[in-house]
């Protein structure tokens, strides 16, 4: 059996498209025909979702398997091995086609009846397409995301707070000497014996403590 699907925007009537496809063909072929007809970027991810009677999404039919093999609750099918007739039936005649996950853009894909065409027709086939075409969000893969703040505007407060204190001994501080802070002064000690010259012996020093 050959199917007709009417494709439209969810919030507008300014676009209509109809694609015919055989029930034994796959969702991958339907996806490819949509991409071709609407001039989408085929390298972007896309998925079909079944809808229940309340309009809630059910099974996902994705471009590739995303779930772990041992996931018992896996609710995802794969486009290239899932045929149209496996999904579209009396209880599922409407789907959503998400073509731009970044901007959450999708199209309504509704079963519109059996397609009766010419025997020479090669399916899938775009029967008609009219109105303002939906657009994907454009991303420049070569865009430079490097941080280009001027060196003279660099705020080193972070480094000063975390490890940038010269008394802690930064590697790039050539003038740093271990213990060179307010609590330790080299000139407070006698160069010869290493103790404060105010004390005659170590015992005297300890007694003062």
Task: Give the model's pLDDT for residue 66.
Answer: 72
Q: How many helices (H) and strands (E) does the chain have?
A: 4, 8
Could you please report the per-residue DSSP string of 87-104?
A: H-BTTB-EEEEEEETTTT
Domains of the chain listed by start with CATH number:
2-131 (3.10.290.30), 151-208 (no CATH)
Judged by DSSP in three states, 175 sits in: coil
> What is the helix (H) or strand (E) element at residue 158, kind and residue range?
helix 157-161
User: Positive or negative CA dihedral for 122, 47, 43, 107?
Assistant: positive
Maximum separation of any 2 CA atoms in the chain, in Å? 116
Q: What is the predicted pLDDT for the residue at 147?
A: 42
- Predicted confidence at residue 6, as pLDDT, reads 98
How far, in Å, CA of 5 to CA of 113, rounded?
8
pLDDT of residue 176: 43
Structure tokens at 147: 């941080």
pLDDT for the residue 119? 87
pLDDT of residue 82: 98
pLDDT at 4: 98
- The pLDDT of residue 59 is 94
| 0.85 exceeded by pTM | no
Q: What is the total residue count of the chain?
A: 209
Per-block average pLDDT, block size 10, for the chain (209 residues)? 97 95 98 97 95 92 77 81 96 96 95 94 97 84 48 50 50 48 49 52 59
- Separation CA 184–CA 52 (nearest Å): 76
Burial of 84 from C-beta contacts in 10 A (0-12 / 13-18 / 19+): buried
């Amino acid at each position: 059996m050959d199917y007709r699907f009417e494709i439209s925007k969810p919030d507008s009537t300014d676009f209509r498209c109809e694609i015919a496809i055989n029930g034994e063909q796959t969702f991958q072929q339907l996806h490819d025909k949509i991409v071709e007809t609407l001039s989408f970027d085929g390298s972007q991810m896309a998925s079909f979702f079944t809808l229940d009677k309340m309009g809630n999404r059910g099974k996902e039919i994705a471009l590739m398997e995303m779930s772990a093999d041992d996931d018992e609750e896996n609710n995802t099918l794969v486009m290239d091995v899932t045929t149209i007739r496996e999904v579209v039936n009396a209880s599922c005649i409407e789907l959503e086609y998400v073509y731009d996950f970044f901007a959450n853009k999708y199209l309504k894909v509704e079963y519109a009846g059996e397609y009766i065409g010419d025997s020479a027709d090669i399916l899938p086939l775009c029967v008609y397409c009219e109105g303002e075409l939906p657009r994907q969000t454009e991303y420049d893969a070569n865009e430079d995301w490097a941080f280009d703040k001027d060196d003279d505007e660099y705020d080193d407060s972070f480094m000063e707070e975390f490890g940038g204190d010269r008394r802690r001994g930064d590697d790039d501080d050539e003038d740093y000497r271990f213990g060179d802070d307010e609590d330790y002064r080299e000139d407070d000690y006698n160069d010869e014996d290493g103790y404060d010259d105010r004390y005659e012996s170590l015992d005297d020093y300890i007694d003062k403590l």
